[in-house]
Structure 1
Amino acid sequence: MRLTLRPSLLCAALLLGVPAQAEDPLAVRIVNEMNAIFGTHPGFRATHAKGAVYDGSFTPAPDAARLSRAPQFQAPLPLLVRFSDGSGNPMIPDGAPAARPHGMALRFVTPDGQPNDIVANALDDFPVGNGEDFLAFLHAVANSRPGMASPTPLERFLASHPAAQRVVQTPKPAPRSFATQPYFGVNAFWMVGADGTRRAFRYAIEPVAGRDVLEASAAAAAPPDYLFAELDQRLAAGPAMFTLVAQMAAEGDPTHDATLRWPADRPRVALGTISIRARRADSDAQQRALNFDPTNVVEGIALSDDPLLPLRREAYGVSIARRQ
C-alpha cells in the first residue's frame, strides 16, 4: 500500500528542516530549507508563523514545589502564551491540514526576567530521535511526490523506521478551539527538587474544557481565522483554562529519544493551572520580539540528554535573527 505524508506531519517535521548546503552549519541548513518550503515572510517565524500572544497566569499545585524548586512552582506567576498554526505560511487557513499540528508556547514571567519557556504542540509523538534520522526523514519527504513509482523514498524510510511510520499514520483532526486541544512537549527534562532530587519528566497541557475536534468537512469549510476568532469570543466570556501536567519517568525510562514512549501507567502529576485571559493589544509586536525556546530553563528544571534539544536551540537562534 502506498504511504503518503500527511500535510500536518510535514508541518511538525519542519520544526527542524532538511539539508541545503552540506558545508553550512546544520542550524543554517535547517532554516534555509524551512524558508525554501514555505517561502520567506519577513518578520515571521520559519514555522508556526501564524499566531497570537495572550496574557495569562499560572497557579502551581501543592505537589509541584516538592518536585521542583523552579519559581513557577513556588508561587503564582504571570504568563505570556502564544497559540499558533503549524505552517511557515502566515496566511494559512486555520482549518487546513497543513496548519496542523497547532502549537502552544508558554513563558513564565519570573521576577528576575530570565526566559523560562515551555514549547508544545498537538503531536504527542515524534517521528525520529536524532538529527541525522530527522534529516533523512525530511529528505525522503521532499523527494516523494504524487505519481512516483513505489516504493517512494518516504516508503523506504518508513519501512525501516517504525516510530516515524506510527506518527505518519496517526489521525490528526482539526480542533474546534485552541482551548479544546491538548498539547505535548515531546522532549524529556529533569525536575530538580529543593533537596537536589532529580526526576525525569515530559510536559503535557490538558484543556479543562476537554478535547473537541471538527469533522474534516467542517474544518475545510471553516473561516480562515476561525481558531483565533473563536478564542477571542471565548475569552470575552471568561478565561480559558488548562492543567499543566508532568508524566514522570521510572528508573531506566529513556530520556535521550523522543520516539520512545514511556508506559501509560507512569504517574501523571498536575503541576498547576494555566489561565488565559485575553489577547494582548501588542500581540503583533510581541510575536516579532519573543523567542520561545524549550531550552530556556531556570534553576529547578534541567535539560535531558535528548539530542534534539540543542538542535532546536540552534535552529531557533538562526530563525529569530532573520525574523528581527
Structure 2
Amino acid sequence: MQTRTLSMLVKASLFTAIPMLMLPAAATERTISELVDAVNGTPDNLSRDAGKKVKLRNHANGFCTSGVFKPNPQITDTFAIEFFTQANIDIVARFSLGGTNPQSSDKTAGRFMSLKLNGDTESLQFVTSNAEVFFASNLEDFFTFQTKVKQGNDGKQWLIDNKPDAKAFFDYIKKLPPTISYADNRYFGVNSFMFNSKNGAPVAGRWIFEPANGVITASADELAQKPDNFLHKELIERISTTPATWDLFVQLAEKQDNVNDPTIVWPTSRPRLLIGQVIINGQHDDAKATLECDKGIFNPLQLPKGIAPSADPILNARSAAYIESFIRRN
C-alpha cells in the first residue's frame, strides 16, 4: 500500500472518539479475584483451594512454539511507533482451546492464539481468538456470563433469554465451523487500542490476523476421522516443512464507532493497515522463552511506546486478572 493511501486512511479514521474514551466504565463491585473465580468455576474456598492444587487455569489445553514477526516497512510512514522499525522480531506463541480442561476435545470450533513479540527493548503481546465478537461489554456481565455457563444448559438458556450480548455471541459461535489446523483460522483482538500517527493524532484500531492461505474449514467427515487431540501434532508437523503465516492488520475505527465495546463488530468497510507478517516456524522452540512459555502469561496491555489501551473495561481488567490467575497456579 502506498504511503499516500495510508495517510488518507489515517486521516479518515482520526476521530472524535477521544471523548468516548472518557466515558465511565459500567459500574461493578466485582473484584479481580471474583472474576478469576467465575472463569475457573471456583466460587468458594474449598473449590478455590482445590483449583490451586491442580494449577487450574483457563486455556489449559494448549502448547507453545515460536517464530518471527516482520514489520511492514511502510507502516512507519503512517504510525509513529518505533517498535515497528525493527526488521525481524522474535515471537513466542501459544495456541490453545478455551476452558480449564487440559483434555478438552479439539473438535470444538473455538481456537485461540497468543503471541509475545520480543523486540530489542520492548515487547508487544496479543491475546486473540477466532471469534470476532465478545460476550460482554462490562465486568458485571462478564462475571454473570462466566457464572451462568458453569451451570450448563439452564445457565446458557438464561443468558440467551436475558443477555442480548451473550445471545449474539452464542449465535456467532453456533455458525463458526471448526478447522483441522490452528493455521487455518483468522484471529481477532476484540478490544481496541490507540495508535500514534505520524501527525500526532491518536488513531483507534483493532488487531486482525489473516491466514496467508485463507480460512480453511473442516467438513463433518474430516473432523470425525480425527482423534480428540490432533491440533498440536498437526501444527508442529506442518511448520517443520512450511511455516504457518498470518498478515497482521489494524482495522481502523471511524468516528461513529464505539471503541470501548468489544461486543460490537465494526463493518468490513472500515479501512485496514498492514502492520506486518507473523511467521510461525518453530525456529526457537528449544529456547528458554519458548520452553517456559506455559509458566507465564500473555498480557495484551504489554505495549510498546506509541500504542495505548482504549478505555474498554474488559481490556483494562485483563492484566490484573491474568496476574491473579498466574499467582494462584504458582
Q: Which moved more, 1:255-264 or 1:154-163?
A: 154-163
Asked if the contact 1:45/1:320 (under 8 Å) is kept, the reply is no
Partner residue, 1:13 = none
Alignment partner of 1:185 is 2:197: no
CA-CA distance at 1:175 after TM superposition: 1.2
Following superposition, the deviation at residue 81 of structure 1 comes to 1.3
Which runs of structure 1 show a deviation greater than 6 angstroms over 4 or more consecutive aligned residues? none
Please list the CA deviations of residues 233-253 of structure 1 after superposition, one character each: whole Å capped at 9, or x if unmatched: 111112111100111011231
How far apart, CA to CA, are the structure 1 residues paired with 2:52 and 2:59? 12
Q: What whole-Å deviation, never above 9, does each CA across 1:167-193 have from its counterpart, x for those lacking one? A: 101222221211111110000111113
> For the structure 1 residues 276 and 46, does the alpha-carbon distance in structure 2 shift closer, same or farther, using more than 3 Å as the test?
same
In the alignment, does 2:246 pair up with 1:242? yes
Q: 1:322 to 1:285 in 2, by over 3 A?
A: farther
Partner of 2:167: 165
2:40 corresponds in structure 1 to 35
> Quick one: which amino acid aligns to residue 217 of structure 2?
V
**SS of the residue 1:52 aligns to:** strand
Q: Deviations over 1:58-111 (max 9, x none)?
A: 11113421343334421221111111122211222322x2xx421111111111
List per-residue Cα deviations over 1:1-32 (Å, max 9, x = no partner). xxxxxxxxxxxxxxxxxxxxx99x62212223
Which residue of 254, 274, 277 maps to 1:273?
Answer: 277
8 Å Cα contact 1:66-1:194 kept in structure 2: yes
User: What's 1:53 paired with?
Assistant: 64
1:232 maps to 2:236: yes
Give how far 1:312 is off: 1.4
Cα offsets for 1:215-274 (capped at 9, x unmatched)? 345334412331111111111112111100111011231111111222221102211111
Asked if residue 111 in structure 1 is aligned to residue 116 in structure 2, the reply is no
Native 8 Å contact 1:58 1:72 kept in 2: no
Seen in structure 2, the aligned counterparts of structure 1 residues 250 and 40 have a Cα distance that, compared at 3 Å, is same
Give the gaps of 5 or more residues in structure 2: 1-27
Structure 1 residue runs without a partner (length 5+): 1-21, 146-151
For the residue of structure 1 that corresponds to 2:170, the secondary structure is helix
Match for residue 8 of structure 2? none
Q: Distance in 2 between matches of 1:172 and 1:26?
A: 32
1:64 aligned residue (39, 52, 75):
75
Of residues 88, 92, 96, the one that matches 2:100 is 88
- Match of 2:144, SS state, is helix
Map 1:1-324; keep pairs closer than 5 Å: 26-36=31-41, 40=51, 46-76=57-87, 77-95=89-107, 97=108, 100-112=109-121, 114-143=122-151, 145=153, 154-170=156-172, 171-278=175-282, 280-281=285-286, 285-324=291-330
Contact kept in structure 2, 1:245 and 1:272, CA below 8 Å: yes
Partner amino acid for 1:187? N
RMSD of the TM alignment (CA)?
2.6
With over 3 angstroms needed to count, the CA separation of the structure-2 counterparts of 1:183 and 1:136, relative to structure 1, is: same
Residues 1:220 and 1:47: Cα distance change in structure 2 (over 3 Å): farther
CA distance in 2: counterparts of 1:197 and 1:60, whole angstroms: 22
Pairwise CA distance, 1:306: 0.3
Structure 1 45/118 Cα, relative in aligned 2: closer, same or farther at 3 Å? farther
Aligned equivalents of 1:315 and 1:220: distance in 2?
36
The residue matched to 2:66 in structure 1 has which SS?
strand
Give the superposition deviation at 1:198.
Answer: 0.9
Residue 231 of structure 2 aligns to a residue in which SS?
Answer: helix
Q: 1:218 to 1:45 in 2, by over 3 A?
A: farther
Q: What is the TM-score normalised by the length of structure 2? A: 0.80
Residue aligned with 1:296, SS: coil
What letter is aligned with 1:129? Answer: S
Measured in 1, the distance between the counterparts of 2:94 and 2:321 equals 19
Identity of paired residues, percent?
A: 28
Q: Using the alignment, how far apart are the partners of 2:222 and 2:53 within structure 1? A: 32
